[in-house]
Amino acid sequence: MTTLLILRHGPTAWNAEGRIQGSIDQPLSDAGRARVSLYRLPPESASLRWVASPKRRAWETATLLGLDPTPEPRIVEMDWGEWEGHRTQDLRVDGRMPDRHDRLGLDFKAPGGESPREVQARLRSWLADVAADGRPTGAVAHNGILRALYALATGWDMRGDPAEELVDGCAHRFTLAEDGTPSVARMNIPLVG
């Protein structure tokens, strides 16, 4: 079994505004940098091989944490296509994001974007590589990656809320079987004391 410790990037201005970032390369906000400066990684993190999404918000988070990660493009955020840059509430009000999208679960897909199931496909490839390597690994990624990983580990179909809330400002520990299949070890490890 291989250990994987994963966390979401710090806050951005678009997070604060409720805008969908997806593949758009947003930096951390000043408030996000201040928040990440308070993060303290679990003791085990010093012995991990670290990777990060090449998106600025994830890379900057890793750098502020004193990490020297390798870029991993398979853990970039889900592509939200035509909805990127828009606020979810505005998309619902003007009818572009139907309320039924939550019922589609893993097959939900914004116009021109990718579905969580497609995210899981690239994530599975990466998880298999991490397991084959065998070294305990840490990753700085995105909410869509955390949700896809949690769904793979628990069988959650992304309809409705997950059994456990995925809390921002926390690390999440998974174990990977030899083929890369993830299992939850511990969720929501606080990064701020």
DSSP characters for 95-118? TSS-GGGGGGGGG---TTS--HHH
Q: Are 9 and 193 in contact (CB under 8 A)?
A: no
pLDDT score at 89:
87
Give the predicted TM-score (pTM) of the model. Answer: 0.94
Whether 160 has a pLDDT exceeding 90, the answer reads no
- Average pLDDT over every residue of 107-115: 94
**What is the domain range of residue 9?**
2-190
Alpha helices, DSSP H only, in 139-187? 143-154
Query: What is the tally of structural domains in the chain?
Result: 1
- Average pLDDT over every residue of 83-99: 86
Bridge-partner residues for 170, per DSSP? 190
Supply the CATH number for residue 163's domain.
3.40.50.1240
User: What's the pLDDT band for 99 if we cut at 50, 70, 90?
Assistant: low
pLDDT score at 100:
63
pLDDT score at 95:
80
Q: What is the pLDDT of residues 38-72, one digit of tens each?
A: 999 999 999 999 999 999 999 999 999 999 999 99
- Average pLDDT over every residue of 159-185: 96
